[in-house]
Amino acid sequence: MNCQREREAWPAVGYTAGNFRAGNDAEFLKKVVSACVPFIGFQRSLNAIAIIGECSDKIE
């Protein structure tokens, strides 16, 4: 997996790649992040969706 993000986002990239390997798709992960917006905040949800999009492009 060669998803490129800032150093602080690397764990999130690893978790995202692991979710793809476990069989979850980008649509499902985006729905999960959208449901968590009130808890994690808008900016973090945007970052998470960007990581999901970036990693899904690399995998597919």
Residue 1, pLDDT score: 47
| CB contact set of 54 (below 8 Å; sequence gap of 6+) | 3, 4, 5, 13
When pLDDT is averaged across residues 16-24 and rounded to a whole number, the result is 93
Q: What is the pTM of this model?
A: 0.80
21-48 residue pLDDT tens: 999 999 999 999 999 999 999 999 999 9
d(CA 19, CA 15) in angstroms, rounded, equals: 6
Between these two residues, 14 and 7, which has the higher pLDDT value?
14
